[in-house]
Amino acid sequence: MTEGELTEVEAAIGFTLPSEYWRVAAAFPFRPIGRDWVYWFYDDPDRVIDGTLAPLADDAYDKVGWRTGYLTIGESAAGDLYVMDSTAPRLPVYCLSHETHRIEPEYPTFAAFVEEWIRAPERGEATLAAERAERRSRIRRALLFVVCAVPASLVFAALVSWLVLWLRR
């Protein structure tokens, strides 16, 4: 986000954003995992504002457990909100469940959140590569089975046919 967008967020939510958040939001260090877009950290001021002022945008969510100074910073793949406590010294990040509406600790610090998501694409790409290798291995095994099983079954069929003919004599 630009400096102007971050200032817009502060004006809309009514409190000052921590300098650590400014630094990360302004220099967006994240990249997608595989073909996934970066949803876990919002780079759109409107999403930050909307998520902070009306978390979950759900009439059923009554903001139980929501504190002044909570800042919605992103979203999990499951649709749960990542919420940073901007008033706590280490800026812990919580997860607000869209199903249970419970707010639970997710990362002990904002720095841990950032570090995790900077490393995530590497782990994601390694996992995708391992899955592709396993898929290729299964295909090879299946082909080997077909290549070996078909001739073997033809030999077996020939032997059975020969045995049937021999027994009929």
| Residue 144: other Cβ atoms inside 10 A | 10
3-state helix, strand, coil in the chain (%, to 5): 55, 10, 35
What is the rounded CA–CA span in Å between residue 115 and residue 113? 6
> Could you read off the pLDDT of 1-23 as tens digits, one per residue?
899 999 999 999 999 999 999 99
- Is the alpha carbon torsion for 151, 155, 156, 161 positive or negative? positive
Six-digit token pair at 50?
């909307």
Q: What is the pLDDT of residues 141-153, one digit of tens each?
A: 766 766 676 677 7
The distance of Cα 141 from the centroid of its chain, to the nearest Å, equals 31
Angstrom distance (rounded) from CA 150 to CA 10? 70
Q: What CATH code is assigned to 3-123?
A: 3.40.1580.10
> Would you place residue 28 in the very low, low, confident or very high pLDDT band (cuts 50, 70, 90)?
confident
Q: What is the 3-state secondary structure (H, E, C) of 52-79?
A: HHCHHHCCCCCCCCCCCCEEEEEECCCC
Residue 130 pLDDT greater than 70, yes or no: no
Name the nearest CA neighbour of 75 among 108, 119, 36: 36
pTM score, whole prediction: 0.68
Helix or strand holding residue 36 (H, E)? none
How many CB atoms are located within 10 Å of the residue 49 CB?
Answer: 20
CA 21 from centroid of its chain's CA atoms? 21
**Per residue in 32-57, pLDDT tens?**
666 666 568 898 999 999 999 999 87
